[in-house]
Amino acid sequence: MNELDSEIIAGILTKRGLSETTDETLADLLIFNTCSIRDLAERKVMGKLGKLGRQKKRDRIIGVTGCMANAKKEAIFQKLPHVDFILGTNNIHDLNCLLDEVILTGAQSIRTDEEFTQELDYIAAKRQDKSKAYVSIIRGCDKYCTYCVVPYTRGPEVSRTPQSILEECRELVAQGYKEISLLGQNVNSYGKDKPEWKYLFHDLLYEIDKIEGLNRVRFLTSHPVDISRELMGAIRDLPSLCEQVHFPLQAGSNRILKKMHRLYTKEEYFEKVALLKELVPDVALGTDIIVGFPTETDEEFEETYEAMRQVRYATSFLYTYSPRKGTPAMRWVDDIPESIKAERHQRLLDLHREISSELMAEKLGQEVEVLVEKRSKDGNYLRGLTRCWRHVLFEGADSCIGSIQTVKLTGYSHQTWMGQMGKASIETL
Ligand code: SAH
Ligand code: SF4
């Protein structure tokens, strides 16, 4: 979501006539699009901003956008008086106004609305990638997991109209994009805040699938409680929808899940995973897991470990618990020592590596569909992405970049496949 917001901000600034520089010392305007999800992310930005403040003063504008803007508000000005403006996650549309204000008056400015109310210029987003694009379908979150700052920094759920989403998807396909990732904190909530539309997430997927020339659709992320049978059916039936689902477990113990306010039990979660695997046998599952949540015992951690072993996730984002100001979990002492959090985290990382190697070994010799993205860093290979969200390196001509090819999987190293482009694909080039 932050990446897309950065692309939208870059789009607004490009329309204004600014050009991008990768050399920070040359910039007249520096914007930090921040994340508040864990303390480390915030400390990095504060450190970097602090350093800028200690440098020799020069005539440039510094802005803070993203979740930290909403989480810290004016406190940023108090700590970092050289910051010129603060623009919250729900105020990206105000960027030009705010810049004008800062330039005209030289005074510090701030906008941090609680709720997202105004449509953004998505079409103008300055996208980094030429074949894959993010499309925002719902902003905010109403789930209020007890550890999470997102409902406070991004506000309540607000679905974007289907017309606007479909229009953007069609425009992207016309521009040559082959893959679209639909974005939201919880995409499965799509439409629930607008009951009068009578239009839910799977309805949107069925319409997007009809867009000619769009090869792939993914979505992230989805809350397990809202992963419905209809959605699973859509993954099975719609040719464009990739067989990959981020299905964030967070913890394997029912007591911890309840304390996290995740709204499902381990058993309910397993039942949904079993149904999805039955309907879409080739599905690649992903997860987010937090270790060291307040009061998590060794036995409860073992339940998370076992759940990971049982589900066999292809991708895992593993976190150690980080207390966030303003969240309900701040009521509880962060009682798990950092050393134990680190140990649990490492054990899950090791398990993930083991499982992902097994999953990769099982697929050796198979042919997969690859979206060719670019040349590898060393220049020797083409690099592409499978429908299941794995990278593949293989030999081929630059003319393949941006196209979909069939590649036979011949080996793997860490999380990346090695492959060989199918003979038929080479002949049609
Ligand atoms: N809406 C998404 C999550 C967005 S935040 C979802 O529910 O799946 C991405 C991940 O960051 C979360 O899934 C969680 O695993 C992690 N996270 C959020 N708050 C955290 C915290 N306080 N400490 C550690 N990890 C956290
Ligand atoms: Fe945070 Fe939970 Fe919302 Fe995800 S669903 S953004 S973890 S509150």
Please state the atom number of ligand 2 nearest to the C-alpha of residue 148: 1
Please state the atom number of ligand 2 nearest to the C-alpha of residue 154: 6
DSSP for 374-419, written as a single string: EE-TTSSSEEEEETTS-EEEE---GGGTTSEEEEEEEEEETTEEEE
**CB 220 within 8 Å of CB 187:** yes
- Numbers of helices and strands, H then E, in the chain: 14, 17
CA 407–ligand 2 middle distance (angstroms): 36
Pocket test for ligand 2, best of 141, 147, 250, 259 (most atoms within 8 A of CB): 141
Residue % of the chain over a pLDDT of 90: 93
pLDDT confidence tier of residue 54, bands split at 50, 70 and 90: confident
- For 364, the token pair is 């050796």
Ligand 1 close to Cβ of residue 345 (< 6 A): no
- Looking at residue 423, what is its pLDDT? 66
d(CA 250, CA 170): 35
**CB 199 within 8 Å of CB 153:** no
d(CA 18, CA 168): 24
Residue 170 clears pLDDT 60, i.e. is over it: yes
| Domain residue extents for the chain | 2-111, 122-362, 367-428
Ligand 1 close to Cβ of residue 126 (< 6 A): no
Question: Among 207-216, 227-236, 364-373, 415-424, where is mean pLDDT lowest?
Answer: 415-424
**CB 36 within 8 Å of CB 324:** yes
Pocket test for ligand 2, best of 138, 144, 317 (most atoms within 8 A of CB): 144
Closest CA to 189 of 201, 202, 204: 201
SS3 content of the chain, % helix, strand, coil (to 5): 40, 20, 40
Which residues are within 8 A (CB) of 367 and not within 5 positions of it... i.e. 6 or more apart?
406, 407, 408, 409, 422
**CB 406 within 8 Å of CB 369:** yes
Residue 426 clears pLDDT 80, i.e. is over it: no
**CB 288 within 8 Å of CB 319:** yes
d(CA 107, CA 129): 36
The CA dihedral of 216, 217, 222, 228, to the nearest 10 degrees, is -100
Q: Which listed ligand is nearest to 36 at the C-alpha? A: 1
Candidate CATH numbers 1.25.40, 3.60.40, 3.30.70, 3.40.50; the one for domain 2-111: 3.40.50
**Looking at per-residue confidence, does 429 or 133 come out higher?**
133
Q: What 3-state DSSP class applies to 230?
A: helix
pLDDT confidence tier of residue 425, bands split at 50, 70 and 90: low
**CB 50 within 8 Å of CB 80:** yes
Closest CA to 172 of 209, 218, 122, 242: 122
Q: Residue whose CA is closest, atom 4 of ligand 2?
A: 185
CA 414–ligand 2 middle distance (angstroms): 29
Ligand 2: residues within 6 Å at CB?
141, 143-145, 148, 150-151, 185-186, 223
Greatest C-alpha distance within the chain: 65
pLDDT confidence tier of residue 57, bands split at 50, 70 and 90: low
Ligand 1 close to Cβ of residue 269 (< 6 A): no
CATH number of 367-428: 2.40.50.140
**CB 345 within 8 Å of CB 353:** no
CA 158–ligand 2 middle distance (angstroms): 14
CA 142–ligand 2 middle distance (angstroms): 8
CA 386–ligand 1 middle distance (angstroms): 25
Please state the atom number of ligand 1 nearest to the C-alpha of residue 222: 8
Residue 132 parent element (H or E): strand 132-136
Q: Which listed ligand is nearest to 261 at the C-alpha? A: 2
Q: What is the pTM of this model?
A: 0.94
Mean pLDDT of the chain: 95
Candidate CATH numbers 3.80.30.20, 3.40.640.10, 3.40.710.10, 3.20.20.140; the one for domain 122-362: 3.80.30.20
Helices (H), 217-285: 229-237, 254-259, 266-279
CA 248–ligand 2 middle distance (angstroms): 10
pLDDT confidence tier of residue 55, bands split at 50, 70 and 90: confident
Q: Which listed ligand is nearest to 250 at the C-alpha? A: 1
Closest CA to 397 of 375, 416, 365: 375
The CA dihedral of 242, 248, 253, 257, to the nearest 10 degrees, is -130
- Angle among Cα 3, 231, 183 to the nearest 5 degrees reads 10
